[in-house]
């Protein structure tokens, strides 16, 4: 309700517009109804926008929750794979250490085998040289002396010693080869899994 100056007689009631002063309560009621209608439309639009934003917020929250769950799974998988890689690295380091030690032992065995083989070849050469020397001595002995039994016995004894030495070298060679192939087979069995 307005007084004659156009000011509201009640506190909180809107003042009349300058053109509406003295227009009467029906004009003021019409204006209030229009404002009420506009505010209702604005309220409905605002409420629709708020509801749409709430719906979008729910969708985004669900999407964020899904992403968080995926992230947790990926982090767990990443941690598992990291632990697996660390374990495999430790295993590989252990295998490499074992392989290096085996390689060192194998190299030492092969060096020993090569040394023994060279010694056997040297002995074979020595035996052949002695056999040739014995044959040349037999050929150089004059026919008269060759009939002498004591010289012939010495030569025969020397030849027997050479034959005995050759037999011992053959046995040593056979034992060496047998030992060589046994060690080789053992090393292959030990290192086949690497």
Phi-psi region of 24 (alpha: psi -120 to 50; beta: other; left: phi over 0): left
pLDDT of 142 > 70? The answer is: no
Report the predicted TM-score, pTM, of the whole model to 2 decimal places. 0.39
What's the pLDDT tens digit per position in 150-192?
Answer: 767 777 778 788 888 888 888 888 888 888 788 778 777 776 6
Cα separation of 121 and 185, whole Å?
23
What's the pLDDT tens digit per position in 54-63?
Answer: 999 999 999 9
Mean pLDDT of the chain: 80
- Contact 124/132 with Cβ under 8 angstroms? no
What number is the average pLDDT over the span 28-53? 93
- Contact 1/13 with Cβ under 8 angstroms? yes
Cα separation of 85 and 112, whole Å?
40
- Contact 8/20 with Cβ under 8 angstroms? no
Q: Which residue would you say has higher pLDDT here, 94 or 136?
A: 94
pLDDT of amino acid 21: 52
pLDDT of amino acid 148: 62
Angle at 26 between CA 24 and CA 30, to 5 degrees: 125
Angle at 115 between CA 109 and CA 118, to 5 degrees: 140
pLDDT of amino acid 147: 57
pLDDT of 113 > 80? The answer is: yes
What's the pLDDT tens digit per position in 72-106?
Answer: 999 999 999 999 999 999 999 999 999 898 889 88
pLDDT of amino acid 66: 95
Cα separation of 93 and 91, whole Å?
5
Q: Which residue has the tokens 């010289």?
A: 151
């Amino acid at each position: 309700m307005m007084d004659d100056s156009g000011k509201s007689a009640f506190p909180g009631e809107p003042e009349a517009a300058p053109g509406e002063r003295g227009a009467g309560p029906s004009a003021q009621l019409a204006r209030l109804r229009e404002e009420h209608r506009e505010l209702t439309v604005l309220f409905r639009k605002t409420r629709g926008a708020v509801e749409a934003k709430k719906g979008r917020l729910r969708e985004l929250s669900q999407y964020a929750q899904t992403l968080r769950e995926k992230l947790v799974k990926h982090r767990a998988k990443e941690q598992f794979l990291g632990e697996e890689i660390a374990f495999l690295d430790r295993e590989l380091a252990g295998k490499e250490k074992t392989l290096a030690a085996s390689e060192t032992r194998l190299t030492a065995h092969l060096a020993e085998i090569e040394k023994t083989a060279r010694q056997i070849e040297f002995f074979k050469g020595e035996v052949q040289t002695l056999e040739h020397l014995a044959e040349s001595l037999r050929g150089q002995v004059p026919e008269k002396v060759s009939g002498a039994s004591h010289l012939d016995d010495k030569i025969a004894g020397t030849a027997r010693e050479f034959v005995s030495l050759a037999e011992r070298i053959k046995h040593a060679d056979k034992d060496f080869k047998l030992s060589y192939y046994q060690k080789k087979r053992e090393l292959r069995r030990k290192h086949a899994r690497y």
